[in-house]
A and B are shown apart, each in its own frame.
Chain A
Amino acid sequence: MWKIIKKYALPLSICLILLLTVIPGCGDEEEEPAVTVPVVTEPEVTEPEVTEPELAPGQPDDYYTRENIVIGGSRPLTGANSIWEEVGFGPIYKMWIEQVNADGGLYIEEYGRKLPIVYKDYIYDDTSDIATMTRQLERLMTVDKVDFCLPPASTASLFAAAPIFNKYEYILLGAEGGATTIMDMLPALPYFFGTLNYSDRYQIPVFADLCLELGIEEVAMIWIQDLHGIEYSGVAGVEFANAGVEVVMSKSVPPDVSDVSLLLLEAQDSGADALCMFAYPDQNFLIIGTMIGMGINFDAILVGPGGNIAAMPGIFGPNIEGLMFEGAWNTKSAPGAQEFYDLFTSYYDPGIGDWWGHILYWGGLQFFEQAIVEAGTLDQSVIRDLMATKTYDTVLGPTWFDIFGDGGGLLAIECHAGEIGQWQSGVPEVIDPPNIYGAKRTAPPIYPKPDWPVAE
């Protein structure tokens, strides 16, 4: 055996040492400054050491050495939440960075130049695990010392991340996730700025108003046994009661539910006018598929997450006609929506579109960008103060955050591009009742929902 080791290990080790010696040299050669540093005085030939120019008052310490802005993030590249990196905030932040860099970067006044954004090496995989995510955030903020940090995905992750962002005074521009619970904490989280709309902000109140408008009197609810289901069913219970709509059935399902036929029969027997699915895509698609198969229909069907994805027509074909969904926006429901959609589809396959969050994430990033540029510094506290007080024009129109006490904020309801959508002729339409928070309706609702075409 030792002969074999000597025979192979020794020559290979020598090769390896040589390789290790050579490759770093190549690395050094590659490490030429990518951005030329302005106004660097040539050192005198006789001067033995290179001296850096003096910093003018107000110039940051790294004025001459900074080449870029580093953005990091702990994102679910793998695991149960990886879908959000694929079709949620993932494509949006990448597109935003590419757009910024195509323009030469962000102009930061205290550096007197545009700084491009680098991010790829600082996006870590949290494997959809909250403990991993919290560790990686600490690493990004204390070891890598990134300039800005992207939000993690999912409501639970956002909740766990918010105190860490706050502790290290990093701005948390929330993307995928949001729940009523966060509102109680916001006064103590001045660096949190949530962009996504959710249950009582302001989807379910709008749906309750829609029920009044359409004459829906009785509702059945199927909800998932987790934070999302508890949240939405709880808010719905309150809002429906306020609107005089009776909940005739409220049943929960586990995340790994595989058969909902009995539940649907019960919902049908309850005589409900509308069915609400407060669950995730896996369960919602199962429910829709079972309803189509069994020919069970309601006058109105509200689909939770999943009902908003652009792939819906591809998945269910003509069956989506009349399905309502939480979201919601389309190319007509916000001033820059068409422009954003055109840009998005120039980058990506339209099939990965999201008629709920994409436009809000994009508007949030545009807002963030303007705050950074106006601040003229990378100091998070200065940028934070601007975000808390300013209104900027974005794809959503005039955009601002509602601030809770002296703390963080949530995107103002008036800035949302819609709350409830409906698939009409394969196109998502916003059907919020008129005269509610800026009249976002782009088409009158179809009511009652037509029968399933396949079942006819």
Chain B
Amino acid sequence: MDITTFTSNKRFQIWGISLLVVLAALATLPQWVGSYYVVLLTFILMYILITVSWTIFSGPTGYMSLASAAFFGVGVYTSAILFPMTGAVLPLPLIIVIAGIISFILGLLVGALTLRLKGIYFAIFTFGLVLLIQRFLLWFEMNITATRGRFVATLDNNYIYYVMLVIFVATLLTAYFIRRSRFGLALQSIGENEEAAAHIGINVTLVKVIIFAISAVFMGAAGAIMASKLIYIDPYIAFNPLLSFMPVLMAIFGGLGQFYGPIIGAAVFAYLQEFLKTEFPFAYMFTFGLVLVMVMVFMPSGLVGMIQRLLASLKEGPQEKSTPSWTLIFSFLFGILGGLVSWFIFRERRGARVHLKVGGVVTIIVIAFYLILLLLAYLGELRSGYFGI
């Protein structure tokens, strides 16, 4: 028996079983958590699937697409038109499929027009697309339909969650199989050297356009179901430019090197946002900014890359003497974890408000402690020449 195949199969089995367990847990979640957590998880799934969709194309090719908000917004508006509060024009599953198809067509058109552009030009064009559609719809609503925003029919939270879960699974499967397919390899080679890829016979433009359009499908579908959660939409709400930047940040936060990097990145990022907004509203932007800066500086390969390297270090000792410094990363990660754990401990007793304050104080002290640790370790490493400077 070929040992490589065996290992590969075993790994595949382990991953498969783990994923099934996670999926089963997600599928039964509404049975054992409250309504808010279902809503929260729906949003987290939405962010993950948008991030993964973004990564399908932009991850391997290195093309920075900022069109996510456009595809999502198209889905939102499809739902607003076909699933208004006054009564659904079509069954919802069909509307979601239509939203996906419209996004796919938009992706094809945009891809065909723009994928000859590279680097910053492509990024600016895709972002311009978001603003273009937003302003066009605004003009259309004002001058043609005279609509003052649109109301979308509301749905049960669990229903929205399950639909999102289905789209989420479809996104993951698509991303996984594209990555493992000839298309994935072609995208990889395009990302490494586009001219070389063209020389070896890859139809570079066709591959890029098709994958770009496929990645748009899931964003459109997600927008269609999330419209029912937004309830009231207008062009500014549907085509929120922030949604173009979030998947980029989330993917980098998690790490683009591995398939599950953007998944973990989006999940942690989305939850962190929610946690900070509700628990530390006035410190939200500061803390969030600090976390982002530190991740970019100390974890250039993202959360997953850092964990992988840390595990490798634990097994075999430090592999290299250059940045990122493991002491710094270890301290930083431990600080965040310590903070989160202490918050969870005290959050359980939130009924008495005094505990929340104590919990907050403890959280700050924990993070402060590990920041001191970070500083000391940093100074120690400087002294020992660990950075090689």
B151 & A185 in contact (Cβ 8 Å cutoff):
yes
Q: Is A139 an interface residue (CB 8 A)?
A: yes
B149 & A159 in contact (Cβ 8 Å cutoff):
yes
Expressed in whole angstroms, the Cα–Cα distance for A26 and B346 within the complex equals 13
Q: Is B97 an interface residue (CB 8 A)?
A: no
Contacts of B372 in A (CB 8 A): 12
Q: What 1/0 mask marks residues of chain A from 151 to 164 whose CB sits below 8 Å from any chain B CB? A: 00000100110011
B373 & A125 in contact (Cβ 8 Å cutoff):
no
Q: What 1/0 mask marks residues of chain B from 352 to 388 whose CB sits below 8 Å from any chain A CB? A: 1111111001100110011011001100110010100
Tally of contact residues, A, Cβ under 8 A: 55
A residues 189-207 in Cβ contact with B at 8 Å: none
A8 & B237 in contact (Cβ 8 Å cutoff):
no
Q: How far is the CB of A227 from chain B (nearest CB, A)?
A: 5
Expressed in whole angstroms, the Cα–Cα distance for A26 and B146 within the complex equals 61
A156-B149 in contact given A5-B327, A225-B142 (Cβ < 8 Å):
yes
Q: Is B114 an interface residue (CB 8 A)?
A: no
**In the complex, residue of chain B having the shortest beta-carbon distance to the beta carbon of A134:** B229
Interface-forming stretch among A52-60, A116-124, A273-281? A116-124
Expressed in whole angstroms, the Cα–Cα distance for A416 and B35 within the complex equals 39
A20-B342 in contact given A124-B277, A181-B149 (Cβ < 8 Å):
yes
Indicate which residue in A19, A23, A78 contacts B284 across the interface (CB closer than 8 Å): A78
Contacts of B146 in A (CB 8 A): 230, 234
Expressed in whole angstroms, the Cα–Cα distance for A49 and B361 within the complex equals 34
A31 & B362 in contact (Cβ 8 Å cutoff):
no
Expressed in whole angstroms, the Cα–Cα distance for A5 and B373 within the complex equals 8
Q: Is A15 an interface residue (CB 8 A)?
A: yes
A1 & B386 in contact (Cβ 8 Å cutoff):
yes
Q: Is A454 an interface residue (CB 8 A)?
A: no
Interface-forming stretch among B21-29, B36-44, B51-59? B36-44
**In the complex, residue of chain A having the shortest beta-carbon distance to the beta carbon of B326:** A1
Indicate which residue in A9, A156, A180 contacts B373 across the interface (CB closer than 8 Å): A9
A252-B36 in contact given A1-B327, A8-B373, A139-B278 (Cβ < 8 Å):
no
Expressed in whole angstroms, the Cα–Cα distance for A156 and B377 within the complex equals 50
Q: How far is the CB of A17 from chain B (nearest CB, A)?
A: 11
Q: Is B318 an interface residue (CB 8 A)?
A: yes
A159 & B151 in contact (Cβ 8 Å cutoff):
yes
Expressed in whole angstroms, the Cα–Cα distance for A226 and B234 within the complex equals 9
Q: How far is the CB of A39 from chain B (nearest CB, A)?
A: 23
Q: How far is the CB of A253 from chain B (nearest CB, A)?
A: 12
A125 & B318 in contact (Cβ 8 Å cutoff):
no
A127 & B151 in contact (Cβ 8 Å cutoff):
no
B386 & A19 in contact (Cβ 8 Å cutoff):
no
A27 & B354 in contact (Cβ 8 Å cutoff):
yes
Q: Is A45 an interface residue (CB 8 A)?
A: no
Expressed in whole angstroms, the Cα–Cα distance for A142 and B285 within the complex equals 26
| A-side interface mostly | helix
B352 & A12 in contact (Cβ 8 Å cutoff):
no
Q: Is B16 an interface residue (CB 8 A)?
A: no
A127 & B230 in contact (Cβ 8 Å cutoff):
no
Contacts of B361 in A (CB 8 A): 23
B36 & A142 in contact (Cβ 8 Å cutoff):
yes
A230-B377 in contact given A20-B362, A124-B278 (Cβ < 8 Å):
no
Q: How far is the CB of A182 from chain B (nearest CB, A)?
A: 10
B365 & A19 in contact (Cβ 8 Å cutoff):
yes
Q: Is B177 an interface residue (CB 8 A)?
A: no
Indicate which residue in A7, A31, A130, A226 contacts B355 across the interface (CB closer than 8 Å): A31
A77 & B281 in contact (Cβ 8 Å cutoff):
yes
Q: Is B154 an interface residue (CB 8 A)?
A: yes
Most buried by A among B151, B274, B277, B358: B277
Expressed in whole angstroms, the Cα–Cα distance for A55 and B92 within the complex equals 49
Q: Is A257 an interface residue (CB 8 A)?
A: no
Interface residues of B (CB under 8 A from A): 34-37, 39-40, 43, 85, 135, 138-139, 141-142, 146-149, 151, 154, 157, 226, 229-232, 234, 236-237, 240, 242, 274, 277-278, 281-282, 284-285, 318, 325-327, 330-331, 334, 338, 342, 345-346, 352-358, 361-362, 365-366, 369-370, 372-373, 376-377, 380-381, 384, 386
What are 22 A-B pairs with beta-carbon distances under 8 A?
A1-B327, A4-B377, A4-B381, A5-B330, A8-B377, A23-B365, A77-B281, A78-B284, A124-B277, A125-B277, A131-B230, A136-B277, A138-B35, A138-B36, A138-B157, A142-B34, A159-B151, A160-B230, A163-B154, A163-B231, A230-B146, A254-B135
Interface residues of A (CB under 8 A from B): 1, 4-5, 7-9, 12, 15-16, 19-20, 23-24, 26-27, 30-31, 77-78, 118, 121, 123-127, 129-132, 134-136, 138-139, 142-143, 156, 159-160, 163-164, 167, 179-181, 185, 225-227, 230-231, 234, 252, 254
10 residue pairs, one from A and one from B, having the closest CB atoms? A125-B281, A159-B232, A27-B358, A160-B232, A139-B36, A160-B231, A142-B35, A4-B380, A138-B36, A143-B36
